[in-house]
Amino acid sequence: MWRRTTWLPPLFSSSKRSLVNQIQGAYGLRIWRTMSSEIQKPEEDGTFPRGITPFITFVLGGPGSGKGTQCARIVENFGFTHLSAGDLLRQEISSNSENGAMILNTIKDGKIVPSEVTVKLIQKAIESSESHKFLIDGFPRTEENRLTYERIIGAEPNIVLFFDCPPEEMVKRVLNRRQGRVDDNANTVKERLKIFRALSLPVVNYYAKKGKLYKIDGTGTEDEIFERVRPIFAA
Ligand code: UDP
Ligand code: MG
């Protein structure tokens, strides 16, 4: 069963009120208690040493489903910090790090980079940010990705967005976007779609069962899709 997108109270404001206060205000203390028992307490030297667990949104969907485009709109309208796992991996390739060649070859094949590599990049990005609310785009792509994130970061996402789009539409968008990506070609897209169906959809289903999933119709114009996203973050 997919969760409806219309009932969420306003969680975020641009004020400097702490996230805990905002969440308590929005949900009431009882629900905050439920949430805090669900999210493991960060260790002093862990990913959240400043004593506040950030609000994490995972953004899932197949290649070309509109994750990155809609994340930009959410950032503009609701002040989240956007961390694209794919972009973090591409930056790692450009920075000539020791894993660069392995990451490049994996992306070229449309396969999944080893979980620890991706999670450590996400961890570094969270730690070096002052933000208290993150969109993690294009991750987790496998159950193993998800479990590695939980083990290393020690927290669950608060909510998960899933952009649902027919494969023909996704292929069309990817082949038309011409951003010079090594994986935006017919062969690699076929493999990425296969991996999405086999390995990423189980992650989507996992969060649906946990009641954390917001499934969004990913067809139509950017504006039309954003009007489906907006009520999740605003009253
Ligand atoms: N990738 C990965 N793990 C991740 C995110 C991305 O291995 O957590 C790799 C994978 O090969 C994927 C590619 O990076 O096909 C591009 O991912 P991105 O999310 O940028 O592409 P999109 O799905 O948005 O087109
Ligand atoms: Mg993307």
pLDDT in tens, 160-181: 999 999 999 999 999 999 999 9
Show the ligand 1 pocket: residues with CB < 6 angstroms. Answer: 63-64, 67-68, 84-86, 89, 106-107, 110-113, 118, 138-139, 141, 145, 183, 192
Q: 30 in a domain, yes or no? A: no
Q: 95 in a domain, yes or no? A: yes
Nearest ligand to residue 181 Cα: 1
Q: 102 in a domain, yes or no? A: yes
Which pLDDT score, from 0 to 100, does residue 153 have? Answer: 95
* Pick from 120, 60, 63: nearest CA to 89: 120
Q: 225 in a domain, yes or no? A: yes
Q: Give the count of domains, the chain.
A: 1
Residues present in the chain in total: 235
Q: 174 in a domain, yes or no? A: yes
pLDDT band at 18; cut points 50, 70, 90: very low
What mean pLDDT value characterizes the chain?
Answer: 85
Q: 5 in a domain, yes or no? A: no
Q: 226 in a domain, yes or no? A: yes
Q: How far apart are the CA of 13 and the centre of ligand 2, in A?
A: 26
Domain that holds residue 109: 49-230
Kindly report the CATH number assigned to the domain that includes residue 81: 3.40.50.300
pLDDT band at 51; cut points 50, 70, 90: low
- Give the count of alpha carbons within 13 A of 145, CB side only: 24
Residue nearest atom 24 of ligand 1, based on CA coordinates: 63
Percent of the chain at pLDDT exceeding 90: 77
The pLDDT tens digits for 114-158 are 999 999 999 999 999 999 999 999 999 999 999 999 999 999 999
Tokens read off for 61: 């969907």
Residue nearest atom 14 of ligand 1, based on CA coordinates: 86
Q: 190 in a domain, yes or no? A: yes
